Chain A
């Protein structure tokens, strides 16, 4: 089709007639079926008027085709928009065709989820990250020196009874706490040190409603010049307020071989707000973590100058927090891996 049988003016006029007729025809349609007939007549891909017009584009002189194409597209878009608007106006309140009953359920995928204990650990890490803490890890099979000796546990002393230990050999135990990583970190990096140490620990405890032989612990360690008990209180109180929402903390004397002074931190019972209830055993407080200034003997074990540097540390059991916050009555549920249990925390 090389001989131009049509001029640009003629084509533009044809476009004008098309639009002048199509517009009122769309407006005149009062039912969806009628509108569809209008659409087929003017815009139909097979035999519509617009299709005829597009065929005529080829009959124009080459030089005019770009301008004609642009005009054609403008008209086409306008008429289509009019038609769409009319279709929306005519549509019933519900589109009876596609969704007979929109209250039917969505097509879901399986919900995945992070274990409730991991959720607690992750939240702790987030909060302590804001305070400049990084994450350190260490092995679970440890030498007795890292697990006990370096941490100032007196040999053959009742303090050892606090940690009923699982032995792999004479030279190897399953770590009873994450504290060995304190010493490993202090040996490997110079102060200032601010680390959080999550990990599994093992004790020879029976597996019952409130004990598990393997459980997660989160340890924190700060060592620098001029670190004091006030820093410990300030940081852990800040953490408690961030983690539990505005609360009150209480510090009371305690004993760990690797800290001195040692303190337990409690937060106000979230159920009774301090007046005493079954959850807090009438005390008004919930025990959260153990803490204290790093014992100079621990710093010395790691080769750190205990006169120049001081530090504080804490250890917390995220499983206890997970049980409390979700009202889980039996710790074994955390280990059973029942998908119905896990699914509850996957939302």
Chain B
């Protein structure tokens, strides 16, 4: 909402500067987001007087001596025909930039020096008049800034009016709150004191007729009140300066006197007003009805619109001629030749306006106010002001007024216990102060027993409970006046959500291992999975990505490609976020997962290692194990080999929790392979929570076995004995099987078993590879003898051979 500082002062003659007003409104009313001085470009102009003037022969020019208050007379060449000695004019000194952008400089014209410019209204951006320079009728001394002489300057305040306060969508409405805060009373703006009166209205419940003009409401639910005022014999033409200034001050463009007057009422009083050309209304009739199926209307913006019966129209006897509460139509548009107008000042139901606005995608200043609610008790009075203003600026006489619909019933009163104000605000507010503050805003306060019965004014639609009144008191006193000392609090009954704790552990673990956390958008084009398995957004932001991702690695893959497209091949990223799975009957199941993707160099380059090896599957396997251990501390984690791109499944205590896989990317040739890990940390329940106390609040998070503390094992005091087994292992035999066999045979003294070498190629039978393990044995109470070790070695080789066909490598 744009507020003109000068216009507001016409409604409430306060003495605040624009800056003070801004701060006061932000603190007590609504936030002022924008603050713009209008006509600031006229600040350098001054009042100057022509002292001498002579014509330059054979030109339209004059050579003048001008007093600009500087003490020296300036020589100025002027092209205007109306230069008069002794008169005062706006003057641009050398160095001034004109509103049009031209820089005024000292120069020679026809051999005469010119040190500045006397200005016409058009040159000052004050209108189209360029017939001559602007004569100033002022007593102000020369050198006085022009803006102090002419009431041109203003400040435009842009207020952020939120949906609960439609009453602030007008200068009058803002003035009411300014009056409540400052104590200065509101008034009718001085420019409206002389407007012609409107004849007494012809009233009717659903229709009225007078002077051959009729108004009929088909549904008072859609249109509770309709005032029509007819003005005859007016002349459509330019607006007077004061009206043009009001309209331009809020950033609108002056159109003509009739349109400007309706806009004045809209922005001045918050009441939409529409003017019909009476001669274009068939039967001189206004019918407020639903649109008929198949009906259409070309609105004032030139768009032909198809209507349907959900929409309310203003029609004449023949056709729809305006979209009620939204925009007028071309059939009854006011033109330059219009002499008789019918003014509409009405109330339309917010719902029907909102429905049509959404269906047609057509939002206007009028629909914006109707949707939020106007002051429906003021319609008749505002109709008189609107008619009077048009008659004032357009001539003509106010012929008649029709007023159809019922008077508005008073709003139901709200009960308020005065002590609740103090209780909720945490500050002592007396009952008297509460009553006084509410009354200053137009609330009627009646004290009865221990409570107030408070009736909101007709323009307030947002007050239905006592807390709404508490807010009024709080903001008028000022939030900053409330105390803000910390006091003790009782501890919360709510435990930390386990998924938060898990996510925190996993995040720290991965960041500690050199991965970078990402928080990408969860939308996907979903090509990798059948569309019906994905959760679709009905009204997606982009049609190319209408799905919610089912796997985090979808998203991470695209982010890796983004990095590759920017020549970044070393990518180590992870995300902890939601995967959306479609369930039965349109349900959506959410899982909180961690996804990680690694690609490129395993370590940063270093002069000792110019080409570090790239990440491979083993790095991914380690990351998966690290995540699983951080998520389920102490649980048994086994990675079970998978097929094709699925490298391993992550089994935690026998349950499949996720996977390690190769991630196929749309990648340039120089890119290294990408590996991904995706592990489900837990499910996020979405079912409704039952009433308090009846609900078993289960987070559905598998926590694994409760965390049993690690038992200390005594540090070894006797030396270990170790030996290596270099074995020829057929490809069909898994290393894990070999290890299993070794562990099963070696006995409990086996301390560690590590595979330390793999060899394939020459010297080995086809279909085999050589794997070498180092075995470490230790006895807790004595040093092992060589013989014991040798015995174990022999036993191991024998068992490996007989059970799984693995023999020692001899070469």
Contact A204–B497 (Cβ < 8 Å): no
Task: Report if B610 contacts A (CB, 8 A).
Answer: no
Task: Report if B396 contacts A (CB, 8 A).
Answer: no
Contact B165–A337 (Cβ < 8 Å): no
Contact B541–A132 (Cβ < 8 Å): no
Q: From residue B802, how far is it (CB to closest CB) to chain A in Å? A: 45
Contact A113–B493 (Cβ < 8 Å): no
CA distance A146 to B688 in the complex (A): 8
Contact A293–B467 (Cβ < 8 Å): yes
CA distance A146 to B685 in the complex (A): 14
Contact A187–B689 (Cβ < 8 Å): yes
Contact A158–B163 (Cβ < 8 Å): yes
Task: Report if B571 contacts A (CB, 8 A).
Answer: yes
Of the residues B30, B425, B562, B684, contact of A253 by C-beta under 8 Å:
B30
A267-300 CB contacts (< 8 Å) to partner B: 281-282, 293, 295-297
Contact B686–A139 (Cβ < 8 Å): yes
Task: Report if B510 contacts A (CB, 8 A).
Answer: yes
A217-234 CB contacts (< 8 Å) to partner B: 222, 224, 226, 228-231, 233-234
Given known pairs A156-B351, A187-B695, A188-B689, the reply for A134 and B496 (CB within 8 Å) is: yes
Contact A264–B31 (Cβ < 8 Å): yes
Contact A114–B497 (Cβ < 8 Å): no
Residues on the A chain within 8 Å of B787, using CB: none
Contact B494–A204 (Cβ < 8 Å): no
Against A, the Cβ 8 Å flags (1 = close, 0 = not) of B310-344 are 00000000000000000000000000000000000
In this complex, the interface size class of chain A, counting residues with CB under 8 Å from chain B, is 35 or more
Contact B470–A260 (Cβ < 8 Å): yes
Closest residue of B by beta carbon distance from A195: B494
Contact A193–B494 (Cβ < 8 Å): yes
Task: Report if B500 contacts A (CB, 8 A).
Answer: yes
User: Does more than half of chain A's interface fall in helix, strand or loop, or is it mixed?
Assistant: mixed
Contact B520–A337 (Cβ < 8 Å): yes
CA distance A74 to B475 in the complex (A): 85
CA distance A266 to B423 in the complex (A): 25
Contact B490–A224 (Cβ < 8 Å): yes
Task: Report if B673 contacts A (CB, 8 A).
Answer: no
Closest residue of A by beta carbon distance from B522: A214
Of the residues B26, B371, B492, B568, contact of A339 by C-beta under 8 Å:
B568
CA distance A136 to B492 in the complex (A): 11
Segment among B5-13, B131-139, B530-538 that sits at the interface with chain A: B530-538
Task: Report if B692 contacts A (CB, 8 A).
Answer: yes
Segment among B192-200, B478-486, B645-653, B747-755 that sits at the interface with chain A: B478-486
Residues on the B chain within 8 Å of A260, using CB: 465, 467-468, 470-471
Segment among A49-57, A85-93, A100-108 that sits at the interface with chain B: A100-108
Contact A339–B563 (Cβ < 8 Å): yes
Given known pairs A112-B512, A187-B695, A261-B471, the reply for A117 and B519 (CB within 8 Å) is: yes
Contact B514–A111 (Cβ < 8 Å): yes
Q: From residue A166, how far is it (CB to closest CB) to chain B in Å? A: 5
Contact B692–A304 (Cβ < 8 Å): yes
Residues on the B chain within 8 Å of A334, using CB: 519
Against A, the Cβ 8 Å flags (1 = close, 0 = not) of B488-511 are 011111111101100010011011
Given known pairs A189-B494, A253-B29, A338-B566, the reply for A132 and B479 (CB within 8 Å) is: no
Contact B500–A135 (Cβ < 8 Å): yes
Contact B685–A186 (Cβ < 8 Å): no
Task: From A159, A216, A228, name the one whose CB has the most chain B CB atoms within 10 angstroms.
Answer: A228
CA distance A171 to B685 in the complex (A): 16
Residues on the A chain within 8 Å of B688, using CB: 143, 145-146
Contact B164–A255 (Cβ < 8 Å): yes
Q: From residue B307, how far is it (CB to closest CB) to chain A in Å? A: 20
CA distance A169 to B563 in the complex (A): 35
Segment among B63-71, B599-607, B660-668 that sits at the interface with chain A: B599-607
Task: Report if A10 contacts B (CB, 8 A).
Answer: no
Residues on the B chain within 8 Å of A222, using CB: 489
Q: From residue B404, how far is it (CB to closest CB) to chain A in Å? A: 26
Task: Report if A72 contacts B (CB, 8 A).
Answer: no
CA distance A338 to B570 in the complex (A): 11
Residues on the B chain within 8 Å of A167, using CB: 537-539
B644-697 CB contacts (< 8 Å) to partner A: 684-686, 688-693, 695, 697
Segment among A12-20, A63-71, A205-213 that sits at the interface with chain B: A205-213
Given known pairs A229-B474, A310-B424, the reply for A159 and B163 (CB within 8 Å) is: yes
A75-123 CB contacts (< 8 Å) to partner B: 104-105, 107-115, 117-118, 122
Task: From A118, A174, A253, A297, name the one whose CB has the most chain B CB atoms within 10 angstroms.
Answer: A253
Of the residues B162, B492, B573, contact of A194 by C-beta under 8 Å:
B492
Q: From residue B324, how far is it (CB to closest CB) to chain A in Å? A: 17
Of the residues B537, B562, B692, contact of A338 by C-beta under 8 Å:
B562
Given known pairs A113-B517, A115-B518, the reply for A230 and B492 (CB within 8 Å) is: no
Q: From residue A79, how far is it (CB to closest CB) to chain B in Å? A: 27
Given known pairs A109-B514, A337-B518, A346-B516, the reply for A136 and B588 (CB within 8 Å) is: no
Given known pairs A158-B371, A224-B489, A262-B471, the reply for A296 and B465 (CB within 8 Å) is: yes
Task: Report if B427 contacts A (CB, 8 A).
Answer: yes
Task: Report if A320 contacts B (CB, 8 A).
Answer: no
A302-326 CB contacts (< 8 Å) to partner B: 302-304, 310
Task: From B163, B523, B586, name the one whose CB has the most chain A CB atoms within 10 angstroms.
Answer: B163
Given known pairs A113-B511, A214-B521, the reply for A189 and B586 (CB within 8 Å) is: no
Task: Report if B283 contacts A (CB, 8 A).
Answer: no
CA distance A281 to B492 in the complex (A): 39
Contact B494–A137 (Cβ < 8 Å): no
Residues on the B chain within 8 Å of A62, using CB: none
Contact B692–A339 (Cβ < 8 Å): no
Against B, the Cβ 8 Å flags (1 = close, 0 = not) of A122-163 are 100000000111111111111101100000000011110110
CA distance A161 to B485 in the complex (A): 36
Contact A135–B497 (Cβ < 8 Å): yes
Closest residue of A by beta carbon distance from B540: A166
Residues on the B chain within 8 Å of A134, using CB: 492, 494-496
Q: From residue B572, how far is it (CB to closest CB) to chain A in Å? A: 6
Task: Report if B401 contacts A (CB, 8 A).
Answer: no
Task: Report if A254 contacts B (CB, 8 A).
Answer: yes
CA distance A190 to B467 in the complex (A): 23
Contact A192–B559 (Cβ < 8 Å): no
Closest residue of B by beta carbon distance from A166: B537
Task: Report if A43 contacts B (CB, 8 A).
Answer: no
Contact B588–A255 (Cβ < 8 Å): no
Given known pairs A229-B474, A230-B485, the reply for A342 and B536 (CB within 8 Å) is: no
Given known pairs A229-B426, A261-B470, the reply for A132 and B517 (CB within 8 Å) is: no
Residues on the B chain within 8 Å of A142, using CB: 686
Task: Report if B608 contacts A (CB, 8 A).
Answer: yes
Residues on the A chain within 8 Å of B542, using CB: 207
Closest residue of A by beta carbon distance from B31: A252
Contact A254–B566 (Cβ < 8 Å): no
Contact A340–B692 (Cβ < 8 Å): no
Of the residues A161, A237, A261, contact of B467 by C-beta under 8 Å:
A261
Task: Report if B28 contacts A (CB, 8 A).
Answer: yes
Contact A172–B29 (Cβ < 8 Å): no
Task: Report if B89 contacts A (CB, 8 A).
Answer: no
Given known pairs A161-B163, A235-B486, A293-B467, the reply for A193 and B493 (CB within 8 Å) is: yes
6 cross-chain pairs, A with B, having the tightest CB-CB distances, nearest first: A230-B426, A228-B426, A110-B514, A261-B471, A255-B162, A139-B686
Q: Can you give 15 A-B contacts (C-beta < 8 A)?
A: A134-B494, A161-B163, A168-B536, A187-B689, A187-B691, A192-B490, A195-B492, A207-B521, A237-B484, A252-B27, A303-B692, A336-B559, A336-B562, A337-B518, A339-B563
What 5 new A-B contacts, CB under 8 Å, besides A187-B692, A296-B465?
Answer: A185-B494, A189-B493, A229-B479, A231-B487, A233-B479
